[in-house]
């Protein structure tokens, strides 16, 4: 044989979400809302005006401007990516050298370690406490002990649903001798964003995505916000035409729909609240079988006995949630979806 797959990719399997036709999908933390007819018309017109034979704008300037206006940051500090997933990979590949180390937290979003592994950097993992809290001083001192070059985590956290307050993030960023990659994929649902302070630090990248609250997972749009020198470096290392022309146009239209986005946000928050209180009601009845965690996001983590059986039971009823070890993670859906989930869960318990 002339070629063998190397050891870092030999045993990898393609990302395998739960495929198939399930009437109720509460597994990927997407928004349950669709654009209004009026917005869909604007999207159609914009798609028709795309110049298909030309490459798109490599810096997605109009899109970044819409993003910057929506979040109140400077366009010069924003880089668009093909989903924040792409940006995580680009950043870990470029900002950390091969023999250097990054630190991730556990539990947290699994892609950080995956991209770290692919880029052949050392990955240390900080274990959160039993209640998923973080001992900041301990974390800071570990980053120094292990000479960590980048600290990567989600805030609020997927899958725990809890987050660090702005004051704590400020302390962390100011105290570590490392680049902090702060993934705020769910910060639209909470009020502790650090995005407006991103430009004040020389060791911070804040990531955002259009896949969750914005409701545009299909477009694959993510953003990195950082000071000008880091931003220049990200722009220099990303692939030139990483965000396609359709996504650029549609994304910049959607990010201008502030009143639609605001009312959608209220609806999603109301759904999370409702789902949380129904789950906590179940918890009172089945207190030795389930434990429901508080969440500041659009999903809820539940520790459940026989989690595999519960997950499969829900799936058989046409409801998919995310199964992770002794836990299931449930995305807030429409009122009807939440109700069906609760009824089905009750029957299974
Ligand atoms: C969903 C999610 C993302 C993915 O974002 P894309 O922009 O869709 O790639 C990133 N980080 C966390 C923590 C997520 O849960």
pLDDT per position as a tens digit, 58-107: 999 999 999 999 999 999 999 999 999 999 999 999 999 998 999 999 99
Q: For position 277, what pLDDT does the model report?
A: 98
pLDDT band at 297; cut points 50, 70, 90: very high
Q: Which of 83, 112, 186, 211 to mutate to test the pocket of ligand 1 (most atoms within 8 A of CB)?
A: 211
Residue 285 Cα to ligand 1 midpoint, Å, equals 34
Note the pLDDT tens digit of each residue in 144-191: 999 999 999 999 999 999 999 999 999 999 999 999 999 999 999 999
Task: List CB contacts of 118: < 8 A, sequence separation 6 or more.
Answer: 8, 9, 89, 93
pLDDT band (50, 70, 90) for residue 14? confident
**For residue 125, what are the β-bridge partners?**
104
Write down the pTM of the prediction: 0.97
Q: What is the mean pLDDT of residues 319-331?
A: 98
Pocket residues: Cβ below 6 A from ligand 1: 29, 83-85, 109, 154, 158, 183, 185, 209, 211, 217, 222
Domains of the chain (ranges; CATH) run 24-30+259-348 (3.90.1150.10), 51-256 (3.40.640.10)
Catalogue the E-assigned strands of the chain. 24-26, 78-82, 101-106, 122-127, 148-154, 179-183, 204-209, 221-226, 290-292, 299-304, 319-324, 327-331
pLDDT per residue as tens digits for the range 21-52:
899 999 999 999 999 999 999 999 999 999 99
Nearest CA residue ID for atom 15, ligand 1? 158
Report the mean per-residue pLDDT for the chain: 97
């Amino acid at each position: 044989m002339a070629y063998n797959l190397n050891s870092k990719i030999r045993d990898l399997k393609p990302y395998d979400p739960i495929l198939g036709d399930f009437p109720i999908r509460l597994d990927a933390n997407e928004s349950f809302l669709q654009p209004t007819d009026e917005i869909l018309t604007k999207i159609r017109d914009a798609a028709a005006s795309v110049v298909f034979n030309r490459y798109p704008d490599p810096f997605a300037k109009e899109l970044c401007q819409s993003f910057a206006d929506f979040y109140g940051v400077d366009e010069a500090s924003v880089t668009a990516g093909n989903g924040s997933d792409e940006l995580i990979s680009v950043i870990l590949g470029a900002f950390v050298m091969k023999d250097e180390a990054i630190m991730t937290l556990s539990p947290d979003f699994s892609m950080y370690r995956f991209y770290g592994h692919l880029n052949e950097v050392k990955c240390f993992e900080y274990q959160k406490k039993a209640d998923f809290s973080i001992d900041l001083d301990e974390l800071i001192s570990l980053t120094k002990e292990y000479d960590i070059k980048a600290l990567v985590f989600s805030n609020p956290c997927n899958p725990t649903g809890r987050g660090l307050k702005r004051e704590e993030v400020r302390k962390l960023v100011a105290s570590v001798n490392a680049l902090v990659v702060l993934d705020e994929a769910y910060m639209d649902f909470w009020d502790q964003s650090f995005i407006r302070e991103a430009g004040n630090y020389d060791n911070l990248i804040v990531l955002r995505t259009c896949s969750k609250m914005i409701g545009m997972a299909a477009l694959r749009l993510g953003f990195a916000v950082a000071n000008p020198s880091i931003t220049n470096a990200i722009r220099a290392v990303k692939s030139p035409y990483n965000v396609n022309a359709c996504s650029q146009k549609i994304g910049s239209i959607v990010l201008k729909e502030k009143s639609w986005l605001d009312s959608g946000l209220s609806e999603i928050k109301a759904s999370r609240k409702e789902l949380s209180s129904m789950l906590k009601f179940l918890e009172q009845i089945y207190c030795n079988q389930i434990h429901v965690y508080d969440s500041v996001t659009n999903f809820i983590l539940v520790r459940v006995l026989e989690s595999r059986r519960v997950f499969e039971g829900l799936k058989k009823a046409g409801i998919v949630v995310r199964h992770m070890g002794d836990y299931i993670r449930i995305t807030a859906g429409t009122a009807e979806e939440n109700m069906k989930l609760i009824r089905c869960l009750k029957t299974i318990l």
